[in-house]
Amino acid sequence: MSQKDFFSTIQRSFVDVEVNSSQEINTQQFLEASTSVVKIFDVLGSTGFAIVKTDMNGNIEVYNHVLSTLITES
């Protein structure tokens, strides 16, 4: 059985996040990349990162909610 490495499992890299001519980023793509990078803490395996991971996931959740609200209202 082959085990995938971390980088082959990420959904989106920050390198792939679109930036327009006004230097504005695509928020949805940024949140996808952020979600992917949080998974590195699972690979590191230390419970010491649990607080950081929880905080980052909480922030991502808040911004996903805000983004979905803005999309619904438009």
**pLDDT tens series, the chain, 74 aa:** 456 777 777 889 999 999 999 999 999 999 999 999 898 888 888 788 899 999 999 999 999 999 999 888 87
pLDDT at residue 53, rounded to an integer: 93
pLDDT at residue 1, rounded to an integer: 45
Residues 6 or more apart whose CB falls under 8 angstroms from that of 30 comprise 14, 17
Give yes or no for a contact between 67 and 32, defined as CB atoms under 8 angstroms apart: no
Domain chopping of the chain, boundaries? 21-73
Q: Is the pTM of this model over 0.85?
A: no
pLDDT at residue 32, rounded to an integer: 95
Give yes or no for a contact between 29 and 16, defined as CB atoms under 8 angstroms apart: yes
Strand partners, 20: none
